[in-house]
Chain A
Amino acid sequence: MANPPIANTIRRCRFDAGEMTQKALAEQVGVTRQTIIAIENAKYSPTLELAFQIAAVFGKELGEVFTYIPKGPKP
């Protein structure tokens, strides 16, 4: 399974938010810590709703936390 084409700055945002733990972020958005880990490592793409919730925790816009990495042009 290829990694989802969405990068994120969650780890940086957590650090900037007073070194928020993954567990604390998970509790705020209602998911497991393992899901936050998977999102941070770009192993899982969150739903749009969850992505908005994560961005809202840090007081940022969606595009400031998540970035879509388009696939290269097909030969």
Chain B
Amino acid sequence: MDHEERNAWGAVIASTITFLYFGGRIWGATVAGIYATDDGLRLWAWDVLWLMGGGIVITIVVMIAFQILYAIATNTPNPSFITDERDTMINRRGVQVTLVVASAGFILAVIMLARGWGAVGALNTILVGMAAGAVAGDLYKIAVYRFGL
């Protein structure tokens, strides 16, 4: 397993943890009506900022841990960290997948607003779209690495 594939696996794990924990908190707050106040959007924004910051920390920890565990499990004390042209091509395609899925979330949010949904619902939809896009892009990269799709 080369460096970029290991990164993709780590990113999927980190994204899943981040959005399950912080996304779950935001969803819980939404259901509880915490964002349905005059101050709701500001509270939502702060929770998303915490999600972003927490996501960065989780990603760093998970990536480092994954690399260490991989090296131990495969008895590879000096794993390769090369990123070559094929990795760049696969990364580029993964970004395209991410953009398509995230864009779908944005379009859905706009449709929701047009149909009378509230701002927080639309913003949560954008957030879910971005989360799904991130995971979809990394899963696509893993599929290409594994199965040469």
Contacts and interface: CB of A to CB of B under 8 A. Distances in A.
A14 interface: no
B73 to A, nearest CB: 18
Taking residues whose C-beta sits less than 8 angstroms from the other chain, chain B's interface range is 10 to 19
A32 B82 contact: yes
A11 interface: no
A1 B87 contact: no
A32 B85 CA distance: 9
Contacts of A43: 148
Query: Which of A1, A30, A34 has the largest number of chain B CB atoms within 10 A?
Result: A34
B42 interface: no
Contact of A46 (B3, B80, B85, B148): B85
B84 interface: yes
Interface string A28-58: 0011111100100001101100100000000
A34 B2 contact: yes
Contacts of B149: 1
A68 B149 CA distance: 21
B148 A32 contact: no
B115 interface: no
B148 A30 contact: no
A46 B86 CA distance: 8
Contact of A47 (B2, B82, B85, B148): B85
B127 to A, nearest CB: 31
Interface string B5-29: 1000000000000000000000000
B84 A1 contact: no
A21 to B, nearest CB: 14
Contacts of A38: 86, 148
Contact of A1 (B82, B86, B148): B148
